[in-house]
């Protein structure tokens, strides 16, 4: 099961109570106070984890609690600190306050940490209150309560390239060809039911790109047709979109209309997606109708940057692969010069 959105309840540990105690020893009638402080409660901590790409752990375990701090003890012993609850979240996790929808944080790098709920401070023991005028204080403080809250976690995958296309256009076939991911491909729509993240390895250039294959979009996805817009959040962070069209027009479809509908659906989801640089892969060039359709497509969309490919014969795939690296490198250079906030 692939979960990319879920709600959790987090509660940090309360601080331990301070202790009231006095030193009692033979021949020491005025031993004085020796009550230790309470320990701090355990935090609830988020940590970015490269090894996971799914929020499923949090679907089945939605409650996370930091341990309570230990109570203070006699002989000036402080209570132990509560154990931190560590939530290992996939990179690209955005955390929102469940009630207000306000963004709390984003976890983008491996090992990045964020304290979601801070553990309560331990209370002072009575030793803390001793003074020249009060040499036998009988007061101690309770620990402070740990922070608590309800949060919504949303995963927006981090990839360089987002693959967008109608079902059956060949998105997964291309992913299989050029990345290390092995999504299933078949001649029926919606073979891919959740995003697949693959790495394109450029051994000669010592570089690699990450590509996200998301389930097919269809006209009306904004009204929840097909799988709807549900998975488009996974291409929101991509630097480049690769729109893949079935240029053969399988099932009497017109590739030009497919392209128009894809753009429309992207716009309906988030018009900023149309501002991202995009390339078009005209797939299935091995089919007889492809050439004529490609000419018509070029005529209708003269500005589109089209790469004719065939995932079957692999013609054009190497050129496209090279171009993807070139484009992303260029975008990285621009990003370095004027870093834009990711979102
Ligand atoms: N002739 C031909 N068939 C292709 C080519 N690429 C993919 N196909 C076929 O098209 C069908 C759909 O391919 P997929 O890669 O599963 O398509 P998809 O876009 O991932 O589809 P969904 O996951 O359903 O959205 C499969 O039967 C593939 O064999 C191609 O270049 N030429
Ligand atoms: Mg697929």
Please report whether residue 45 resides in a domain. Answer: yes
Considering the domain architecture, whether residues 225 and 107 belong to the same structural domain is answered as no
Indicate the SS3 state at residue 257: helix
Considering the domain architecture, whether residues 307 and 170 belong to the same structural domain is answered as yes
Please report whether residue 342 resides in a domain. Answer: no
Indicate the SS3 state at residue 11: strand
Please report whether residue 183 resides in a domain. Answer: yes
Looking at residues 190-202, what average pLDDT do you find?
89
Considering the domain architecture, whether residues 110 and 222 belong to the same structural domain is answered as no
Considering the domain architecture, whether residues 227 and 266 belong to the same structural domain is answered as yes
Looking at residues 263-276, what average pLDDT do you find?
93
User: Is residue 185 lining ligand 1, measured as CB closer than 6 Å?
Assistant: yes
Considering the domain architecture, whether residues 151 and 165 belong to the same structural domain is answered as no
**307-324 residue pLDDT tens:** 999 999 999 999 999 999
pLDDT at residue 121 above 70?
A: yes
Would you place residue 343 in the very low, low, confident or very high pLDDT band (cuts 50, 70, 90)? very low
Query: Are 214 and 231 in contact, with CB atoms under 8 Å apart?
Result: yes
Q: If you average pLDDT over every residue of the chain, what do you get?
A: 92
Looking at residues 184-199, what average pLDDT do you find?
88
Give the list of residues 6+ apart from residue 317 with CB closer than 8 angstroms, or none: 174, 177, 178, 309, 310, 311
Considering the domain architecture, whether residues 148 and 57 belong to the same structural domain is answered as yes
pLDDT reported for residue 226: 80
Considering the domain architecture, whether residues 205 and 262 belong to the same structural domain is answered as yes
pLDDT reported for residue 333: 86
CATH number reported for the structural domain that contains residue 35 in this entry: 2.70.210.12
Considering the domain architecture, whether residues 266 and 333 belong to the same structural domain is answered as yes
- Give the count of domains, the chain: 2
User: Is residue 196 lining ligand 1, measured as CB closer than 6 Å?
Assistant: no
How far is the C-alpha of 258 from the C-alpha of 282, rounded, in Å? Answer: 11
Considering the domain architecture, whether residues 96 and 216 belong to the same structural domain is answered as no
How far is the C-alpha of 195 from the C-alpha of 200, rounded, in Å? Answer: 16
Ion ligand 2 — residues with CB < 5 Å: 172, 191-192
Report the predicted TM-score, pTM, of the whole model to 2 decimal places.
0.80
**37-74 residue pLDDT tens:** 999 999 999 999 988 888 999 999 999 999 999 999 99
Least confident of 8-17, 18-27, 53-62, 333-342: 333-342
pLDDT at residue 104 above 60?
A: yes
Least confident of 189-198, 260-269, 290-299: 189-198
**Which of 127, 155, 183 finishes a domain?**
155
**20-33 residue pLDDT tens:** 999 999 998 888 99
Atom of ligand 1 nearest to the CA of 183: 20
* Residue (of 227, 229, 52) closest to 155 by Cα position: 52
Count of C-beta atoms within a 10 Å radius of residue 51: 8
Please report whether residue 343 resides in a domain. Answer: no
Please report whether residue 166 resides in a domain. Answer: yes
**Which of 124, 155, 186 finishes a domain?**
155
Share of the chain above pLDDT 70, in %: 99
User: Is residue 287 lining ligand 1, measured as CB closer than 6 Å?
Assistant: yes
**Which of 99, 129, 155 finishes a domain?**
155
Query: Which structural domain range is residue 39 located in?
Result: 5-155
pLDDT reported for residue 340: 61
Considering the domain architecture, whether residues 209 and 104 belong to the same structural domain is answered as no
User: Is residue 286 lining ligand 1, measured as CB closer than 6 Å?
Assistant: yes
How far is the C-alpha of 204 from the C-alpha of 124, rounded, in Å? Answer: 62
Please report whether residue 314 resides in a domain. Answer: yes
């Amino acid at each position: 099961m692939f979960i990319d959105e879920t709600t959790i309840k987090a509660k940090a540990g309360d601080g331990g109570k301070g202790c009231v105690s006095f030193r009692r020893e033979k021949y020491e009638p005025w031993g004085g106070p020796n009550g230790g402080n309470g320990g701090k409660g355990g935090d609830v901590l988020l940590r970015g984890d490269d090894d996971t790409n799914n929020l499923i752990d949090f679907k089945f375990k939605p409650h996370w609690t930091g341990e309570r701090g230990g109570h203070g003890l006699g002989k000036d012993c402080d209570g132990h600190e509560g154990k931190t609850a560590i939530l290992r979240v996939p990179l690209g996790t955005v955390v929102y306050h469940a009630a207000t929808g306000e963004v709390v944080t984003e976890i983008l790098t491996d090992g990045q940490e964020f304290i979601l709920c801070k553990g309560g401070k331990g209370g002072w023991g009575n030793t803390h209150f001793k003074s020249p005028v009060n040499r036998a204080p009988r007061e101690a403080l309770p620990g402070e309560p740990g922070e608590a809250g309800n949060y919504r976690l949303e995963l927006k995958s981090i990839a360089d390239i987002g693959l967008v296309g109608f079902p059956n256009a060949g998105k997964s076939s291309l992913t299989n060809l050029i990345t290390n991911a092995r999504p299933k491909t078949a001649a029926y729509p919606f073979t891919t039911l959740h995003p697949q993240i693959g790495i394109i390895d450029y051994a000669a250039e010592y570089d690699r790109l990450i590509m996200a294959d998301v389930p097919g979009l269809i006209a009306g996805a904004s009204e929840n047709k097909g799988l709807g817009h549900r998975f488009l959040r996974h291409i929101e962070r991509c630097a480049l979109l690769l729109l893949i069209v079935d240029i053969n027009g399988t099932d009497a479809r017109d590739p030009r209309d497919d392209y128009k509908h894809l753009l429309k659906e992207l716009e309906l989801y988030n018009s900023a997606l149309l501002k991202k640089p995009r390339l078009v892969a005209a797939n299935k060039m091995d089919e007889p109708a492809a050439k004529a359709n490609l000419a018509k497509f070029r005529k209708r969309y003269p500005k589109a940057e089209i790469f004719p490919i065939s995932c079957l014969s692999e013609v054009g795939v190497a050129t496209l692969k090279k171009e993807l690296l070139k484009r992303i490198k260029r975008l990285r250079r621009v990003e370095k010069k004027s870093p834009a906030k990711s979102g």
